[in-house]
């Protein structure tokens, strides 16, 4: 039996991960801890799992832990797990500062702990197929890329800069950066970013546009805005248009869905494609059982955060910024 604890349930993905674990054989959720007692108890009732007041005891009694707390508290939970030698799946972004991210990667190395990042987009069958196509040379030389990661404004702690580290740029950039790094075996070298709070009365940015240069020579743009209205029947998207000298490839990663119209409930989209959260959790369980390195590692989270931090610096300085 593989035993997994959940540390923090602030992020909505925590619910999805818990449900995925509950559907797996020979997996036990040892319990859930959250700094917010009301949030912890509500989630435990909703998910049918045990609440744990003693964080250290929960970690000690688990083979691994999943961290889905607020962004700024990831380091605290990862360090507790690492000191007890427990492998970790950490929600994205890895942290809100490079200091925290570096410390998380280092303490996991020091304690021989696997740090897996929650970058589920890489698990999409369409993304894996795209990598095959690019490697086989069917696009020729890749010239440029255009990406989007739109979504609804999540509200709550996501709009508190102390807890989230930023708005749409922090929330949505990392997914696409990680996907492109893997697809092209590249790093992001420079960024010019502009963003603003244009739609909602909140303390963080809800719209952002970034232009990057990649280590492999291409330029790329990314719209990472919280621009989906609440009436929209689907949360958001991740898209990539990859232009090459021989052809163009378009990825619409969450577009495996059926649109449904109803007199009672209006329109909705029912997803029939890959359950990326399920694939991510299955990977983590396999990492715990086999001891192999995860598909998405702590260093991937660190590299994605470097891009985000440089984007904020670019906006503040009003100039193209080197990513370091």
Residue extents of the structural domains in the chain: 2-113, 121-274+305-322
CATH architecture assigned to 121-274+305-322: 2-Layer Sandwich (3.30)
Looking at the DSSP bridge assignments, the partners of residue 191 are: 212, 321
Query: What three-state secondary structure class fits 132?
Result: helix
Side-chain half-sphere exposure of 278, counting CA atoms within 13 A: 8
Cis peptide before 93 (omega within 30 of 0): yes
Q: Given this model, what pLDDT does residue 236 score?
A: 80
What pLDDT does residue 310 have? 98
Contact criterion met (CB below 8 Å) for 82 and 107: yes
pLDDT tens per residue, the chain (324 residues)?
999 999 999 999 999 999 999 999 999 999 999 999 999 999 999 999 999 999 999 999 999 999 999 999 999 999 999 999 999 999 999 999 999 999 999 999 999 999 999 999 999 999 999 999 999 999 999 999 999 999 999 999 999 999 999 999 999 999 999 999 999 999 999 999 999 999 999 999 999 999 999 999 999 999 999 999 887 767 789 999 999 999 999 999 988 878 888 887 777 777 777 899 999 999 999 999 999 999 999 999 999 999 999 999 999 999 999 998
Task: Please check whether residue 90 is in contact with residue 116, taking contact to mean a CB–CB distance below 8 angstroms.
Answer: yes
- Phi, psi torsion values for 23, nearest 5 degrees: -90, 5
Measured N-to-C along each axis, helices 13-22 and 276-290 cross at an angle, to the nearest 10 degrees, of 60
Which pLDDT belongs to residue 218? 98
| The pLDDT of residue 100 | 98
Rounded distance between C-alpha atoms, residue 181 and residue 117, angstroms:
14
Superfamily of domain 2-113: NAD(P)-binding Rossmann-like Domain (3.40.50.720)
């Amino acid at each position: 039996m593989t035993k997994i604890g959940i540390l923090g349930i602030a992020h909505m993905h925590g619910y999805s991960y818990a449900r995925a674990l509950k559907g797996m054989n020979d997996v036990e959720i040892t319990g859930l801890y959250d700094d917010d007692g009301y949030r912890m108890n509500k989630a435990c009732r909703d998910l049918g799992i045990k609440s744990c007041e003693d964080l250290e005891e929960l970690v000690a009694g688990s083979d691994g832990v999943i961290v889905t707390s607020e962004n700024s508290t990831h380091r605290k939970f990862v360090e507790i797990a690492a000191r007890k030698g427990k492998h970790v799946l950490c929600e994205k972004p890895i942290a809100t500062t490079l200091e925290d991210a570096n410390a998380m990667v280092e303490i996991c190395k020091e304690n021989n702990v696997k740090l897996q990042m929650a970058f589920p987009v890489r698990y999409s069958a369409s993304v894996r197929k795209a990598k095959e196509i690019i490697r086989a040379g069917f696009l020729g030389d890749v010239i440029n890329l255009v990406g989007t990661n739109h979504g609804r404004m999540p509200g709550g702690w996501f709009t508190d800069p102390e807890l989230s580290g930023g708005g749409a740029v922090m929330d949505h950039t990392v997914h696409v950066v990680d996907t492109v790094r893997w697809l092209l075996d590249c790093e992001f070298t420079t960024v010019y970013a502009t963003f603003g709070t244009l739609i909602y009365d909140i303390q963080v940015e809800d719209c952002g546009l970034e232009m990057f240069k990649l280590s492999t020579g291409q330029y790329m743009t990314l719209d990472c805005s919280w621009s989906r209205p609440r009436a929209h029947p689907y949360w958001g998207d991740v898209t990539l248009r990859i232009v090459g000298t021989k052809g163009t490839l378009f990825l619409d990663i969450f577009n495996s869905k059926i649109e449904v119209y109803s007199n009672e409930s209006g329109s909705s989209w029912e997803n029939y494609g890959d359950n990326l959260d399920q694939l991510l959790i299955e990977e983590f369980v396999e990492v715990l059982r086999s001891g192999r390195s995860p598909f998405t590692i702590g260093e991937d989270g660190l590299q994605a955060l470097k891009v985000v931090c440089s984007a904020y610096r670019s906006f503040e300085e009003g100039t193209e910024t080197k990513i370091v």
